[in-house]
Structure 1
């Protein structure tokens, strides 16, 4: 029998090799480049402008809602089936599959929230060169050109998007390998025009076998490919576009770069140890959504494919393009900029949604209509989270909790990493270090605080472990290519990997969170899913073998979905344990399209370096653009030890990012907020307290994200889409429309320059109330206490200034309204209140109010008269920025009571402060300034 050291060898070697190297940097040799990924290399070698694909117009069928048309590859006579749909909300869907595949090809399930509703299509014209269809809205047409096949979406005289305009459509048909016993004995008798899915490998294709078509080796790992080559690819041209965004997760700038001289951006969920910055390498998440923007329009491309995917981006000039007899139109001059994008996936089908905007908000709405909106989180999860790998034991947890009280720093959640378990067996507690978890959880609950404990998807192979025994007995583990349970190495040593793609497995997993199953758990214990790419220490590229099996499907078909399913099952478990009453909070590392419906994400194993602080901004902005608003980065950096200056600046930045958690590696020195001297403790305290004062605004923003799909943290161009100065900015951001944040992310900074947008806008410094005009680069001197944040003139933001030990302790506390007047002396804003943690808001148990200031009257009106909720909170102060001094202020309440209010006016700053107006936060009222 193997010794412990022998059994743990791969794990120890993997991590010790990394940690002891002293470099604390990613070993890029562990991960493939495009040239080392056979299908990427093959597809990228296709010559532009020589497309073999032709549309067979005689096969066209058009119904009210769908166009079908066969395409043929003139080189090998393979026929494909194209389907085109016009979807509600200005979306066009294009699907391309083999006409008669040898076996079904994988189509991604569970990501779309429903089968998208369609709108009518109609034929405008047809001749031997192609077809023109009306898309109905706004004079939009689809032009299908026959030879070579090409698809253009046109609105008026503008080409919005072209497919296969560069001739890079590639579709590797499924086939039988000639040199195996699987070959079809009848193949030689088949007609050449038969779908070659039924035809053996050609001589030309046989010669490519060594290029990884049927087998591929990377380092010591061999990937058997029983289905042979199956890659799909398609190019898209975007005339007039120079800026594209999205396809997270990458540690790169917000504006995506051209990839002509390097690797494409890779989408393949991987456990990348301290990732390299400004690199198109794959990271933990893969969301195959790209947004394109110029001053006239925003569009989006959603490539629904869960296999390994590479995305090439090139900058081009749109030349003159003529669409023959079908369109009397010549596109622009040769000076028109253009971005060309090419998507390449290893398997599956082409299923792409073209979201045609035209505004950023409409693209967000279009994508949300397909994959859903951000889950509405519990209010407490928007507070501060304290974590490290690992708090040692219950006494350590108690001491850290007490430290926050002693230093008057609020927090809501304390976290436990893998060491809290009994030997890395998830759903358990170390019997010595965490002998009475309920006592620990009750102590937190008494202070209205909560805990998160990690539950990873790798399961220790141990016959004394109930979870393992049940998964194995039910046959729920992923299988290897030979049909046995797949095993890999992770934290517990030898581990099995549950097949979360199975609904019955997810249902069983959800059941494990029940209080009578997860011993020691209570209602204030929430969950963190790490390592769910999945991470396999001894696997190819530190992940699962692609030829592992999920039933009849290979892992290669659905790799990027695995983490999505893990988070789905976990979130469902937290919902079910409360009888469907309580909203879950689940943090995940691996994400896919639709993950926004399930909880929060963080940017993985970053480092205590200034550049990692800076990159957290574009990384979260990119995730927000594709629906995942609840994003954050490990405050202070996971690896290495931050200087006190870096730690303070990271707290100041993290306080204004959606998910606010400090986290640190096992081998780093402790860094609780009070360990860096009293001056730095005070600076961190102030940053965290600022976060808590804005919780009403954060909660309102997340409610809007849940309702609309609009990002909470957003690039400036989303709100100022016609201002080119905003298009590439990623060192500052907006929270909603009304807060502009420019964190200090440079070591030793004495000042920052913030761009304030909006020709007719004014912006108020939230700390000094200084007023600044829009459309300027404002230099801001900074000290260590500075967090440059500005409130937009024309907005009203509710805050709670009585900061307590946790968000729940502030539930009934009063509000202060910050009214920032615009140049027209008007402003508006909202307030959203519910119980903060249940699904009762779906039963319309909430308060949603609109505040408006116009003609010197400030009012509060009910936006949802049929909603019912009560609050004990009231309005204790109103601060009006950019005000004039009134002679008196009169408050009229809903019962027609009138009161004169006391106020102070600072003439030097034009700030009016109205004290103790005393209205209930859920009441109607008007306040007149005379």
Structure 2
């Protein structure tokens, strides 16, 4: 363990050691491979083939919305209970658990926003080895085969998904260790009982049934007689034999990784299941990994790992685990899109195999020509260390359907306050109040807008969160009020490791309330992090979360004001002296659950409690802003995510695009990467390009390591300052568009930042593209991410579609791949013909200062001369849009040479001074005149200009309120 001085503070030598660890490249030996994770290795050693599981058709039970049936492992005779539900919205749910476990197995709470509504389920066919079920309208069918067990989902007569078709179902049952005290007692009891039977052989007997046969016998779905154990001696002999075989495998009851030994009181408890997608070659999702958007096959290497870890300076293009885990995978073909949501919070590995992997395009074409090619198929195998099998099958069929289905289960992206979509300035660390003031003034002096300045761990009193360093930040309230006067905000870091210090109020309260995670021996769990010795609050405990939320009240978080928001870092949790830099798996949480069961939920709960604290401090009026590094399914409900500790390298700039695209596919739209790279010092070209990329990603923050040189935007010369300023100003001009996209995501679950295949699902050209993307369906972005680039190749999708360069207004026809020459000022962005985008082009020092500024509408005409778009407007920071209906959702349509503005949602009403100052129509001819018509007013003539070379018509000063209904006619 690291050394500390008598006061408990870390010594200089310890700090140096830790900092060296942070700035060095990732040491992969600190993190497990599949072979070093005993359950992953055990499951992977099971090869595809005949499944040992059989469904017991005689135990089948039906209700209108569910089917229950027992599965038996014919090798060890352990019974499982399978539950299958048809869900509304074209989804199904499959749950598998032990029929009679020795103790309850962990089932993930709090992630689902509701119990999913079910749909009608009926039996439509049956024979001696299968049952056919019909879902809802009868178009979707499920065929359950008894031996070997498998399930097939069909739409019409087309097979779209198979479960356990490769026979890789694994369910390791809870058991007592063969040489445990209880087993010795049981053996003694059996010996005594045998002696009694010998003495009283004429007395008929039947023993109690600790392994659950009697419970099974009394259940609604009884074991068949031929499977039912009858004597306790038989059960013990059978169990001993099974457990003896299992115990021969290393890692069964304990495993050691480096210096850490993980003892497993329940033995092996892993679960696994395989799914097959016929006709599918493209799969996506399961973030977080620093890898391409389209997932690779994992044969010959490690599976993708989902286990939230603090990986210093992570490597790229490998399946190593990172800070967050969302166990959702999407499978896509030209015919349909499907999804799998594997609801399990334990360490999870995902294997992907394909029968077409490694085949070249020429080889596939040759197969097709020769008529000998097999149907493409992708197989996905999920393996988790503990818990149960609880999986949702999202049946699409379109990408938009899958997004709607998944977010109906876990919630949509929270609508952030408007300022959170603006530019954020951060580093580890701004030194003191004077430094904060100087940086804030610097943005004004150099005419660069920004909204939020951030403080890292050094702002606290000795890494004690909810405090301020009394020497460096003696007047936090005055500092925050100074920012408020400029209509700006601050974010301070609050990490979930609490300094063990009896002079620290937060620590004392958590300890007195018994809210810390425990060791397996019942003591408060302690590990080492930034403060030195630290305790870890048990965020799985609702009472702990409620207390944590209360700490954000203004009278609890001393010096805080309404413009102070929060950053949750290190919440994997990160523990410097723990196994794999995280918590021991045998640590204990409320309810006697081991950390192995809940690990991937920890960061989710930290962000949840923090966001709820921000809401509560305002009486539920204000929307929170919380950034988290660690996350799980459902984290989108509580704020933003960033991609962690990246590096100032070109490849890290490139990888930020597929990383955020992957998060958007699984509900987390509010994503970004540290602009400039967290580690190392970016050269000016890289920094400029990173600002240009960040300006077109949802979360836009510059951040840097404590050892890097300062990199405020004005420190790299006038030319680079101007380029960075232009990129940031582009972001601010588009804030109405960004805000509307986030509102749409909040309402519908659709991602903000989208891979091209989401909007063009039948175009195979786009399936592997992840260096360009769409914002909504209107803007296509292809940032420059290569050093010294003189040009980029841009693919414009859509048969018969047109696209307009947003800078030159050049009209381009699709589909085509074009080579675009670029300079250092270039940010290649195209607006889709048929879309309307609202901008605010009077950029001021912060977004709040632009609240009542006028809008410009960019109307990009499609091939038929039509276009449509929308705009969401509210106060930008409260829940009044939900609670009081105080909002405007405006719809703009252009058709027949008439642009109309109307309400997209009559339920909303909001008064604003903002107005329309200009309408720019791309692809328009020159009219003889332009007229404005408003309800109850006479028609008025408007001024306009027309550029014949680019076919751009600019209508000046309609001067209509953005909330009014009106029409503009070209004649």
Q: Does 1:891 align with 2:932?
A: yes
Which residue of structure 1 aligns with residue 668 of structure 2? 628
Equivalent-residue separation in structure 1 for 2:309 and 2:240 (angstroms):
33
Shift of 1:333: 7.9
Which residue of structure 1 aligns with residue 101 of structure 2? 101
Which residue of structure 2 aligns with residue 393 of structure 1? 432
Q: Does 1:701 align with 2:741?
A: yes
Which residue of structure 2 aligns with residue 853 of structure 1? 894
Q: For 1:85-136, what per-residue CA distance to the aligned partner results, in whole angstroms no more than 9, with x for missing partners?
A: 0001000100000000010000000000011110010001111111000012
Q: Does 1:166 align with 2:207?
A: no
Shift of 1:896: 2.8
Alignment check: 8 A CA contact 1:385 1:415 kept: yes
Q: 1:308 aligns with which of 340, 347, 356?
A: 347
Shift of 1:14: 7.8
Q: Does 1:292 align with 2:331?
A: yes
Which residue of structure 2 aligns with residue 505 of structure 1? 544
Q: How is 1:471-550 mapped onto 2 (pairs within 5 angstroms)?
A: 471-550=510-589
Q: 1:768 aligns with which of 785, 804, 808?
A: 808
Aligned partner of residue 675 in structure 1, secondary structure:
coil
Equivalent-residue separation in structure 1 for 2:248 and 2:478 (angstroms):
62
Which residue of structure 2 aligns with residue 215 of structure 1? 254
Aligned partner of residue 383 in structure 2, secondary structure:
strand
Deviates more, 1:861-870 or 1:306-315: 861-870
Deviating beyond 6 angstroms after TM superposition, the runs of 4 or more aligned structure 1 residues are: 6-15, 187-192, 195-199
Shift of 1:24: 3.0
Shift of 1:157: 2.1
Q: 1:784 aligns with which of 824, 838, 846?
A: 824
Aligned partner of residue 70 in structure 1, secondary structure:
strand
Q: Does 1:427 align with 2:479?
A: no
Which residue of structure 1 aligns with residue 135 of structure 2? 135
Alignment check: 8 A CA contact 1:385 1:413 kept: yes
Equivalent-residue separation in structure 2 for 1:132 and 1:9 (angstroms):
66
Alignment check: 8 A CA contact 1:102 1:197 kept: no
Q: How is 1:613-624 mapped onto 2 (pairs within 5 angstroms)?
A: 613-624=653-664
Q: How is 1:638-787 mapped onto 2 (pairs within 5 angstroms)?
A: 638-787=678-827
Shift of 1:19: 4.9
Relative to 1, partners in 2 of residues 1:334 and 1:173: Cα closer, same or farther, differing over 3 Å?
Answer: farther
Q: Does 1:875 align with 2:916?
A: yes
Q: How is 1:216-231 mapped onto 2 (pairs within 5 angstroms)?
A: 216-231=255-270
Alignment check: 8 A CA contact 1:177 1:200 kept: no
Shift of 1:210: 5.2
Alignment check: 8 A CA contact 1:752 1:781 kept: yes
Which residue of structure 1 aligns with residue 606 of structure 2? 566
Equivalent-residue separation in structure 1 for 2:779 and 2:13 (angstroms):
48
Equivalent-residue separation in structure 1 for 2:729 and 2:8 (angstroms):
44
Relative to 1, partners in 2 of residues 1:138 and 1:567: Cα closer, same or farther, differing over 3 Å?
Answer: same
Alignment check: 8 A CA contact 2:4 2:11 kept: no
Q: For 1:572-605, what per-residue CA distance to the aligned partner results, in whole angstroms no more than 9, with x for missing partners?
A: 0000000000000000000000000000000000
Which residue of structure 1 aligns with residue 224 of structure 2? none
Relative to 1, partners in 2 of residues 1:164 and 1:9: Cα closer, same or farther, differing over 3 Å?
Answer: farther
Alignment check: 8 A CA contact 2:177 2:243 kept: no
Which residue of structure 2 aligns with residue 254 of structure 1? 293
Which residue of structure 1 aligns with residue 216 of structure 2? none
Aligned partner of residue 489 in structure 1, secondary structure:
strand
Shift of 1:20: 4.0
In the superposition, the TM-score normalised over structure 1's length comes to 0.97
Shift of 1:201: 4.0
Shift of 1:202: 2.4
Shift of 1:13: 7.4
Which residue of structure 1 aligns with residue 388 of structure 2? 349
Q: For 1:642-663, what per-residue CA distance to the aligned partner results, in whole angstroms no more than 9, with x for missing partners?
A: 0000000000000000000000
Alignment check: 8 A CA contact 1:11 1:489 kept: no
Q: Mind listing any 5+ residue stretches in structure 2 that lack a counterpart?
A: 191-206, 214-226, 358-370
Q: Does 1:277 align with 2:310?
A: no
Alignment check: 8 A CA contact 1:7 1:494 kept: no
Equivalent-residue separation in structure 2 for 1:394 and 1:866 (angstroms):
45
Shift of 1:926: 0.6
Equivalent-residue separation in structure 1 for 2:752 and 2:14 (angstroms):
38
Aligned partner of residue 182 in structure 1, secondary structure:
helix
Equivalent-residue separation in structure 1 for 2:12 and 2:608 (angstroms):
31
Aligned partner of residue 698 in structure 1, secondary structure:
helix
Which residue of structure 2 aligns with residue 177 of structure 1? 177
Which residue of structure 1 aligns with residue 945 of structure 2? 904
Relative to 1, partners in 2 of residues 1:739 and 1:896: Cα closer, same or farther, differing over 3 Å?
Answer: same
Q: For 1:307-357, what per-residue CA distance to the aligned partner results, in whole angstroms no more than 9, with x for missing partners?
A: 000000001269xxxxxxxxxxxxx98611000000000000000000000
Equivalent-residue separation in structure 1 for 2:636 and 2:11 (angstroms):
32
Deviates more, 1:911-920 or 1:209-218: 209-218
Aligned partner of residue 918 in structure 1, secondary structure:
strand
Aligned partner of residue 558 in structure 2, secondary structure:
coil
Equivalent-residue separation in structure 1 for 2:663 and 2:695 (angstroms):
18
Equivalent-residue separation in structure 1 for 2:22 and 2:906 (angstroms):
62
Equivalent-residue separation in structure 2 for 1:136 and 1:688 (angstroms):
50
Equivalent-residue separation in structure 2 for 1:268 and 1:492 (angstroms):
24
Q: For 1:900-924, what per-residue CA distance to the aligned partner results, in whole angstroms no more than 9, with x for missing partners?
A: 0000000011000111110111100
Alignment check: 8 A CA contact 1:66 1:85 kept: yes
Q: For 1:798-835, what per-residue CA distance to the aligned partner results, in whole angstroms no more than 9, with x for missing partners?
A: 00000000000000000000000011111011011000
Q: Does 1:122 align with 2:122?
A: yes
Equivalent-residue separation in structure 1 for 2:421 and 2:28 (angstroms):
35
Equivalent-residue separation in structure 1 for 2:433 and 2:186 (angstroms):
70
In the superposition, the TM-score normalised over structure 2's length comes to 0.92
Relative to 1, partners in 2 of residues 1:457 and 1:156: Cα closer, same or farther, differing over 3 Å?
Answer: same
Which residue of structure 2 aligns with residue 322 of structure 1? none
Aligned partner of residue 613 in structure 1, secondary structure:
helix
Which residue of structure 1 aligns with residue 366 of structure 2? none
Shift of 1:844: 1.3
Alignment check: 8 A CA contact 1:245 1:291 kept: yes
Which residue of structure 2 aligns with residue 462 of structure 1? 501
Shift of 1:895: 1.9
Q: For 1:206-235, what per-residue CA distance to the aligned partner results, in whole angstroms no more than 9, with x for missing partners?
A: 563451010010000000101110000000
Alignment check: 8 A CA contact 1:173 1:197 kept: no
Q: For 1:227-273, what per-residue CA distance to the aligned partner results, in whole angstroms no more than 9, with x for missing partners?
A: 11000000000000000000000000000000001000000000000
Q: Does 1:359 align with 2:398?
A: yes
Deviates more, 1:750-759 or 1:176-185: 176-185
Equivalent-residue separation in structure 2 for 1:743 and 1:683 (angstroms):
14
Q: For 1:745-782, what per-residue CA distance to the aligned partner results, in whole angstroms no more than 9, with x for missing partners?
A: 00000000011000121000000000111111111100
Equivalent-residue separation in structure 1 for 2:524 and 2:239 (angstroms):
32
Which residue of structure 1 aligns with residue 221 of structure 2? none
Alignment check: 8 A CA contact 1:317 1:334 kept: no
Q: Does 1:45 align with 2:45?
A: yes
Aligned partner of residue 790 in structure 1, secondary structure:
strand
Shift of 1:868: 1.3
Relative to 1, partners in 2 of residues 1:107 and 1:14: Cα closer, same or farther, differing over 3 Å?
Answer: farther
Alignment check: 8 A CA contact 1:241 1:339 kept: yes
Alignment check: 8 A CA contact 1:100 1:197 kept: no
Alignment check: 8 A CA contact 1:77 1:194 kept: no
Q: Mind listing any 5+ residue stretches in structure 1 that lack a counterpart?
A: 319-331
Superposition RMSD in Å: 1.9
Which residue of structure 2 aligns with residue 325 of structure 1? none
Aligned partner of residue 696 in structure 2, secondary structure:
coil
Shift of 1:139: 1.2
Q: How is 1:53-72 mapped onto 2 (pairs within 5 angstroms)?
A: 53-72=53-72
Equivalent-residue separation in structure 2 for 1:163 and 1:197 (angstroms):
31
